[in-house]
């Protein structure tokens, strides 16, 4: 076994204040590899932004700005993370969920369906309105 020693012992991380975590299983069990770059970016953002129960309530435009992604990429990544049972979203609040047993779990997200999301999500509604006026990005 390789003996690991800190390269910069004066800079060892400490937990001070709030703390975000991602299970090591996320990498070991293939969840990381199963996600697109946009999905990873959104998942890590939500994990960092969430409280101890995995809850956060950033609006889509702030998430897009901080992640450097378009509203369409955000919607696609969000819906995919819901479909993969990694997050839940009720239209206002996100929850980073405990990891399922394995990646690619096809069960629907626990809080809302894609059909409900298309009717109630502000980003989707904005996109539909812009498209109807011929203002697609």
Q: What are 102-129's pLDDT values in tens digits? A: 986 444 555 566 666 666 676 777 677 7
> CA 110 to CA 121: how far, in whole Å?
16
Question: Structural domain of residue 80, as residue ranges?
Answer: 22-132
Q: What are 14-61's pLDDT values in tens digits? A: 877 778 889 999 999 999 999 999 999 999 999 999 998 999 999 999
- pLDDT value at position 12? 87
Q: Is residue 35 part of a domain?
A: yes
Q: Is residue 89 part of a domain?
A: yes
Contact 55, 66 (CB under 8 A): no
- Residue 96: which CATH number? 1.10.10.10
Q: Is residue 7 part of a domain?
A: no
Contact 109, 85 (CB under 8 A): yes
Total domains in the fold of the chain = 1
User: Considering only CA atoms, which of 96, 82, 104 is closest in space to residue 48?
Assistant: 96
User: Considering only CA atoms, which of 121, 70, 120, 80 is closest in space to residue 103?
Assistant: 80
Q: Is residue 8 part of a domain?
A: no
- pLDDT value at position 36? 95
């Amino acid at each position: 076994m390789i003996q690991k020693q800190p390269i910069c012992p004066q800079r060892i991380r400490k937990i001070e204040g709030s703390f975000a975590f991602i299970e090591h299983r996320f990498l070991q069990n293939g969840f990381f590899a199963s996600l697109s770059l946009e999905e990873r970016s959104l998942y890590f953002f939500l994990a960092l932004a969430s409280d101890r129960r995995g809850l956060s309530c950033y609006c889509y435009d702030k998430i897009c700005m901080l992640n450097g992604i378009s509203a369409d990429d955000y919607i696609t990544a969000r819906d995919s993370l819901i479909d993969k049972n990694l997050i839940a979203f009720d239209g206002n609040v996100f929850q980073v969920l405990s990891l399922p047993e394995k990646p690619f779990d096809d069960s629907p997200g626990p809080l809302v369906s894609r059909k409900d999301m298309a009717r109630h999500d502000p980003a989707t509604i904005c996109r539909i309105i812009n498209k109807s006026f011929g203002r697609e990005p």
